[in-house]
Amino acid sequence: MDIGFIGLGKMGQPMAKRLVAAGHKLVVYDTRNDAVAPLVALGAQLASSPADVADRVETVLASLPEPHVVLRVATGEGGVIQGKKIRRFVDLSTTGSRMAREIHAALKARNIVQIDSPVSGGVSGAEKGTLAVMVSGPRAECELVKPALEVFGPVFMIGEAPGAGQTMKLINNLLSATAMAATSEATVMGAKAGLDPSVMIEVINAGSGRNTASDSKFPRTILTGEFSWGFATGLMAKDVRLCMEEAKTLGIEMQVGQAVHAIWQRAIEENGADSDFSRVIIPMEKRAGVQVRARK
């Protein structure tokens, strides 16, 4: 399948490589030369703009960091909306359902199908092909691109309404952000009480408190002190914010969500938006005067 791929960052790079390895022919674009070079070396064609990508292929995938960037790439000057060949735009990013509907309406006016396809599973999931792929859009169009999306991991058809996949992604990431924040608070409390952090994590993972943070993130990046999970604090905070905005639009009160949002905002203020999101525990540790690390 001939596929365009825009956005070759931490997630887009391994996903694009998996498409090449699976035999798909790629036309790629990114604003950074160092990002496109590895794909070109694998045989991908280099485009000069999103519109150039959309001039060459019918199916364009995008993996981009922020909703406003997706909007610009999809509908702005030099965007895919100006392409002569494109028939469908598959958004792998996390934008929230409101932005997805806005992009859908703009592309529909040009007879381009918008397919929401946010993914979950992190950089390691992108590399291994174990991402959860949440798809929404016209069923026939989703089935058409499914073989390509399955290269990333299991595909879940969320619905046909524009933005349904985005809503699912925000729900998922709120739970992920909550697990990270709550596990950080709990283990800081235990460390303050004198408990061994490694033993705490072992007990949690053997008991009912087990979650995605305790199961993988703590052993790999926090107990070791590496803080190298590969996902930015600012991106997680953005996802939680989008979820809170969608909940407000729906008239839903989310007390836990608001508390989690505040924790991630503090992490941005004290650690920086570009910091690894596993460092969310650092402000809690500083206030408690302890560290949640494996004892030597």
**173 and 156, same structural domain?**
no
Instruction: Point out the residues that are catalytic.
Output: 169
Residue 10 near residue 30, CB atoms below 8 Å? no
Nearest to 164 by CA among 186, 197, 183, 142: 142
Does 213 fall in a domain?
yes
293 belongs to a structural domain: no
At position 230, the amino acid (one-letter code) is G
pLDDT score for 296:
78
In terms of domains, do 147 and 171 share one?
no
**66, burial (CB in 10 Å: exposed 0-12, middle 13-18, buried 19+):** middle
Q: Are residues 74 and 150 in the same domain?
A: yes
Strand segments, DSSP code E, in the chain are 2-6, 25-29, 45-46, 59-62, 88-91, 113-116, 119-120, 132-136, 155-159
The answer to whether residues 43 and 75 belong to one domain is yes
* Three-state secondary structure call for residue 3: strand
Q: Does residue 295 lie within any of the structural domains?
A: no
Do residues 14 and 94 both lie within one domain?
Answer: yes
90/101 Cα distance (integer angstroms) = 13
Closest C-alpha among 157, 184, 172 to residue 287: 184
Same domain? For 101 and 194 the reply is no
Residue 224 is assigned to a structural domain of this protein: yes
139 and 235 housed in the same domain: no
Q: How many domains does the chain have?
A: 2
* pTM score of the predicted model: 0.92
**Do 71 and 102 fall into the same domain?**
yes
Output the domain CATH number for residue 83: 3.40.50.720
CATH number at residue 186: 1.10.1040.10
Tens place of pLDDT per residue across the chain (296 aa): 999 999 999 999 999 999 999 999 999 999 998 999 999 999 999 999 999 999 999 999 999 999 999 999 999 999 999 999 999 999 999 999 999 999 999 999 999 999 999 999 989 999 999 999 999 999 999 999 999 999 999 999 999 999 999 999 999 999 999 999 999 999 999 999 999 999 999 999 999 999 999 999 999 999 999 999 989 999 999 999 999 999 999 999 999 999 999 999 999 999 999 999 999 999 999 999 999 999 87
144 and 172: one domain?
Answer: no
The domain of 241 spans 167-288
